[in-house]
Structure 1
Amino acid sequence: MTTQDINTSPAAVKKSRDGVRLLAGVAVAIAATCALPMIAVLLAALVGGTDTVRHLIDTVLLGYAGTTLLLVAMVAMGTFALGVGTAWLVTMTRFPGARVLEIALVLPLAFPAYVLAYAYTHILDHPGIVQTVLRDVTGWGPRDYWFPEIRSLGGAALMLVLVLYPYVYLLARAAFLQQSATTFLAARALGSSAWAAFFKVSLPLARPAIAAGVLLTVMETIADFGTVAYFGVQTFATGIYTSWFSLFDRAGAAQLALCLLSFALLLAMLERIQRGKAKYHDPARRAVAMPPVPLTGWRAAAALLACGIPVIFGAILPVIVLIWMGTGSEQDLLSPRYLGFIRNSATLAGVAAVLTVAAAVCVGFFQRLRPGKLSFGAGYIARLGYAVPGGVIAVGLMVPFATFDNQLDAWMRSTFDISTGLLVTGSIWLLVAAYMVRFLAAALGAYEGGQAMVHANMDSAARSLGETPVGTLRRVHLPILSPSLLTALLIVFVDVMKELPATLIMRPFNYDTLAVQAYRLASDERLDGAAVPSLVIVAMGLLPVILICRQVGRQK
């Protein structure tokens, strides 16, 4: 039998079409799952009526909106200044320690902001070591001096800046590395100082990448719950949780979630626009590499200090403080209770990572196999989950499935006198679905980055040898993409380990994780105890960060 016979045989053609239909159905189902929370939040908010809306407007809505916008502005400005400044220094100058700091500046990415909040509250709060030493040295009483309040809007913004600036740093650094020295040197030749050339030439050229990084930090800021909740900052994220659990007002929670969802989708749209404009930097057209400027004396010391402070306060000091706190606590990591927390966290993260990466493969391969409105629409919807905070996704999934569970239970009681209970909302599978919706965009990004290495000719060769589309994916794509898929697995695994709001709202009864345990202990002001699960979360977070650091070390 010839190759042509294999390709055109009715059995092979039917098998190929069935495989494509199955892949299309799975991809569309995944996109529908990602769209479900947003649709459910919209419907629940509309069903809630205007009374709840008026009450929210009269009481908390304007306060939530103002606080959230102020927090977003502070974090955006802070991450911009810190990320761009450090990226410029390690890329365009040379000073002692620059090569080490170039990689170390990524380390704070491993820390959840709420973990930093626990560490800095322990040392900066009124009973903390800093104020205690200050009172002992000066002899002042509690009312004799002023000290910045860590549990405040400014404190929350500082914690978020310290852990989120690497987003801006990584993108700005890549943009600076891709720039040609020609325009910068031309500006210098025309009489501009180094600072003037930076602001007039280098910064505008890197603007799309920097804007994309800042928008990412803003989306993470509006999604944050642990930090603002612990510091008592009233944002939309804390309002959703309070309405759901404290006030038992599902309509109010849905309407607050709709406000937050609208803002998040606006940011997602802006991020897509910025990504589309990010075409200033083409390495193939770079004429002259930008020569690093050697720094000496006080300039070198200032650069070392500027790049060292974020690493010290964003990674090194928190680890030292958490170890010190954990050593003095009574929490035993080897106790059956803590082993249960670790097992629950690892189970949720492992299952969610596998399912999320599998979903990313289905959606990404469907886009490659059948480019068109359907495939790209499915891919776009699948990516929207990253812009939706975990609390919004939780509300969006809990509302319809809780209704389904209640209706099913009522029907079973009336028909068979059997109570089914909470079949869906009481299981971990709905929580895993929330994780998939939230982090599918990250897995898709890693998958598509590796997919670029698979040339279209490989697909043609596999098809000419009689392979079906699914067979091509299994035998050709997946072996080549294994490093990218491993990276995607690690990223999703660690993101799930750190995720707090969705886990708090949706976890099954008596099914606590390390993040929940840390939050509970911190809420009870048992910060020493909260340090132990926090350290485990940070240790897990270092895995993908190490991979990113290796990649940073190779980019020159």
Structure 2
Amino acid sequence: MTDLATDTAPRPARSFRLGARGWVLASLLIAGLVLLPVLALGWQAAQGSDGLWTHLVRNVLPHALGQTAILMAGVGVLTAALGTAMAWLVTAYDFPGRRMLEWALLLPLAVPTYIVAYAYLDLLHPLGPFQSLVRAILGYDSPRDFRLPDIRSMAGAVGLLSLVLFPYVYLPTRAMFMTQAANLVEAARTLGTSRGRIFWRVALPLARPAIAVGVSLALMETLNDIGASEFLGVRSLTISVYTTWVTRSDLPGAAQIALAMLLVVVALISLERWARRRQRYSVGVQRARSLARQPLRGRAGIAAFVLGLLPVVFGFLLPALYLAVEAWQRFRFAGLSDRLLVEAGNTFLLSAAATALVLVCGLAVAYAARVVPGRGMQIVHRTASVGYAMPGTILALGILIVAAGLDQWIDRTVQAWFGAGTGLVLIGSGAALGYAYLARFLAISIGSVEAGLTRIPRSYDQSARTLGQGVTGMLRHVHLPLSKPALAAAGLLVFVDCMKELSATLLLRPLNFETLATHLYGEASRGTYEEGAIAAWAIVLVGILPVILLARVGHRQGRD
């Protein structure tokens, strides 16, 4: 009996070690796949011909860097001001319609930047509805007699991008204002400080970390943008990468510009962390209470509601209603074309397949970090999440280099063995585009799954182990059933982001393969805005889903 116990005792421990090692190896492979495009970019940039970098530094980068710097500075200032002001308005004051504004201010996130630019280009066109109405009111007959400034400008790009991206600042800043202890504000009030000075002297300094995080996210989205910048005539670094590769067929030059963009991203993240390196926030043992809202009634309440509604109107309602009207008119005139139905099917199938892949890989990385905690897994976790910090154009270009090299190797190998070539297997099948979605949005899946796993007590793992379950058995019987809400939320966010992704899709889509986003981009580039209204409206409708999810989570947190 003793010998039997001695023989069987080590087996569960040995299976546990093997199971944990397998999850670690899987997470290492996934992190390597995310890092591979960056390494490929560096290798391709080093293959540039003599004098190429000198030409880029002299003729391309100065203008592109200048345009990008102005665009990011303008968007950073406006999103910080607008997001912080709206967060303080709905947190510090109580007025009619405040509860509606709390979630309505998230609605601009449902509209991609290129769709807002697409809608406003048609709305504010000299022959469009807005300028036609203004001329009719003022008594002018022709655009030659009166026309507003062209929205195709740096100011137009800064304004439109800020209207869409300010919720990135609003959401974390509002959460910070809601969780700040009320006794800090009350202490300032007892010292005779007005509510306005409390904002500047107490609330704003405490919210600086949240504002910095939100602004950095907005700036990375600005750097990733390709559609809105091109539509509005701003030649950013992203546009330079795209035109250098597609128009000039200069892959080494595009890789070198992409590396310059990557340096901008690294500098941006480093600056954000440096800015809040000494920021600390702590509360006492006494339970923190939420900030008591100052009631606003009468004209003051109406003014506060109108002020909070303006970003929603111009950032969501106006473009969304315009697209709905245009889509309905187009549908009544021509119905749904077969091409649009095919593109909608392409978008859905590609996004669904990529979402499934991203969820599986995100689960592998997050679960490996749970079963084998330590410094090494933290590095793997951060490496696997780095793709979300890089613009889609950079990732797409790196993946294009990797996929093209693998396609050439496969073609040569098959031709040597069987005497027939295979062509572009990865690029032609859409596998390269799925790879781009995986690297780009893996961080969303890892973060959501990790958040779900952290809510499961470690005692559950120990109980499962005593019942004879291995690492994979614990995942199947314990962690997956309890993590379904987190997986569903991650799947929704990844699916919508895949549907809206434009820059990577433009570079990596197979020949004659179009999605709703690329269809809209093509119609806007040709100036046939009415043709893309249905595709734009479909993307907006799907984009509302994660906003509803965020609003529900925010409402639940505020109630708690």
Structure 1, gaps ≥5 residues long: none
Could you tell me how far 1:412 is from its partner in structure 2? 4.5
Contact 1:163/1:314 (8 A) holds in 2: yes
Greater alpha carbon shift after TM alignment, 272-281 vs 160-169: 272-281
Match of 1:57 in 2: 57
Match of 1:321 in 2: 322
Contact 1:178/1:282 (8 A) holds in 2: no
Q: Tell me if 1:354 matches 2:373.
A: no
Match of 2:485 in 1: 483
Contact 1:71/1:153 (8 A) holds in 2: yes
Contact 2:366/2:450 (8 A) holds in 1: yes
Which residues in structure 2 correspond to 1:157-196 (within 5 Å)?
Answer: 157-196=158-197
Could you tell me how far 1:335 is from its partner in structure 2? 3.5
Fraction of identical pairs, as percent: 40
Contact 1:93/1:294 (8 A) holds in 2: yes
Could you tell me how far 1:280 is from its partner in structure 2? 2.0
Which residues in structure 2 correspond to 1:78-97 (within 5 Å)?
Answer: 78-97=78-97
Change (3 A) 1:268 1:384: farther
Contact 1:107/1:311 (8 A) holds in 2: yes
Could you tell me how far 1:293 is from its partner in structure 2? 0.2
Match of 1:523 among 504, 522, 525: 525
Matches of 1:401 and 1:108, distance apart in 2: 35
Match of 1:383 in 2: 385
Match of 1:236 in 2: 237
**Residue 328 of structure 1: SS of its match in structure 2?**
helix
Structure 2, gaps ≥5 residues long: none
Matches of 1:309 and 1:238, distance apart in 2: 31
Change (3 A) 1:155 1:473: same
Matches of 1:462 and 1:215, distance apart in 2: 42
Encode CA deviations 1:148-203: one digit per residue, 9 max, x unaligned: 32112222222211221111111011000111122222223323221111101000
Matches of 1:467 and 1:551, distance apart in 2: 34
Contact 1:118/1:522 (8 A) holds in 2: yes
Could you tell me how far 1:373 is from its partner in structure 2? 3.1
Contact 1:184/1:198 (8 A) holds in 2: no
Match of 1:553 in 2: 555
Encode CA deviations 1:205-224: one digit per residue, 9 max, x unaligned: 11111111111111111011
**Residue 26 of structure 1: SS of its match in structure 2?**
helix
Contact 2:31/2:381 (8 A) holds in 1: yes
Encode CA deviations 1:84-130: one digit per residue, 9 max, x unaligned: 11111111100110011111111111110111111111111211112
Which residues in structure 2 correspond to 1:226-265 (within 5 Å)?
Answer: 226-265=227-266
Count of matched residue pairs: 555
Contact 2:395/2:436 (8 A) holds in 1: yes
**Residue 330 of structure 2: SS of its match in structure 1?**
coil
TM-score, with structure 1 as normaliser = 0.95
Encode CA deviations 1:323-354: one digit per residue, 9 max, x unaligned: 12222336866443222111110111111111
Match of 2:463 in 1: 461
Matches of 1:168 and 1:491, distance apart in 2: 18
Could you tell me how far 1:269 is from its partner in structure 2? 4.0
Match of 2:299 in 1: 298
Which amino acid in the other structure matches residue 389 of structure 1? P
**Residue 83 of structure 1: SS of its match in structure 2?**
helix
Could you tell me how far 1:282 is from its partner in structure 2? 5.6
| Structure 1 vs Structure 2 CA RMSD | 2.3
Match of 2:22 in 1: 22
Match of 2:119 in 1: 119
Could you tell me how far 1:22 is from its partner in structure 2? 1.4
Which amino acid in the other structure matches residue 44 of structure 1? Q
Q: Tell me if 1:534 matches 2:517.
A: no
Match of 1:437 among 432, 436, 439: 439
Matches of 1:423 and 1:493, distance apart in 2: 24
Which amino acid in the other structure matches residue 93 of structure 1? Y
**Residue 96 of structure 2: SS of its match in structure 1?**
coil
**Residue 234 of structure 1: SS of its match in structure 2?**
coil
Could you tell me how far 1:413 is from its partner in structure 2? 4.3
Could you tell me how far 1:270 is from its partner in structure 2? 4.6
Match of 2:427 in 1: 425
Matches of 1:6 and 1:216, distance apart in 2: 56
Contact 2:114/2:227 (8 A) holds in 1: yes
Matches of 2:218 and 2:334, distance apart in 1: 35
Change (3 A) 1:462 1:88: same
Greater alpha carbon shift after TM alignment, 79-88 vs 420-429: 420-429
Encode CA deviations 1:464-510: one digit per residue, 9 max, x unaligned: 11111111111111111100110000000000000001001101111
